[in-house]
Amino acid sequence: MSNKTILITGATAGIGEATALKFAEANWDLIITGRRADRLEKLQTTLISKFKISVNTLCFDVRNSAEVEQAIDSLNEQALKIDVLLNNAGLALGKGPLQEGNIDDWDTMIDTNLKGLLYMTRKVAPFMIKNGRGHIVNIGSLAGMEVYPGGNVYCATKHAVKAISRAMRMDMVQHGIKVTSINPGLAETEFSEVRFKGDAEKAKTVYKGFEPLYGSDIAEVIYFTATRPPHVNMDEVLILCTAQADSRLVHKNQ
């Protein structure tokens, strides 16, 4: 019997990379995707060497529908027997008031967080339906449940992920396809460094004075949701670190 397969977008760092390691450890085959070919190749080498599993890499930008189509079409029939699609690719850019917003940043967030998820799901879901099984896991955020100052467009994209996940569940239920929304709070990944456009010192202050979540914490939850019995669907999960009560209230030891 062949291993199960998970396709992970944004697998080159953070939650995506941690999830790849977690599922590989459990003997799943992987399809890892991202825009940084060198990181994909390095992760592929590590996973194959350490876990002796099958790992396909697809280097493309989820914001480009043509690249999504071409990448998925390049997979062979066996690889297309995808059991889990993890729509993980996403980012925040900037943290200022709406009237000072950078339109290019807005477009990047909307194209990545929203349209990328839609493009991937539209392409992969028909294979799941044909195979008679599947599970779509969307990475949302606490920002999809609350709005905070400076979060405007990013929060809007994650609110939309929440709505799309619910609508997707309605579309997929007749096909027996599971849909789960995973919503992390403060997690120390590349997130803040990307948001502050490479300012590592500024990014570090976000997580100073408390212990945040890590990519591995979210990966554990993703694996749990993906390995429930066939009749169980984890619909929505909110994960916060112990120090965080909501999007604004974080207890810091300083």
- Please state whether beta strands 84-87 and 135-139 pair in parallel, antiparallel, or not at all (unpaired): parallel
Catalytic residue numbers read 154
Describe the crossing of helices 152-172 and 117-131 by its angle, rounded to 10 degrees.
20
Edge-first strand order for the sheet with 178-184 is: 55-59, 29-34, 5-8, 84-87, 135-139, 178-184, 236-239
Residue 254 has a CB neighbour count (10 Å cut-off) of 5
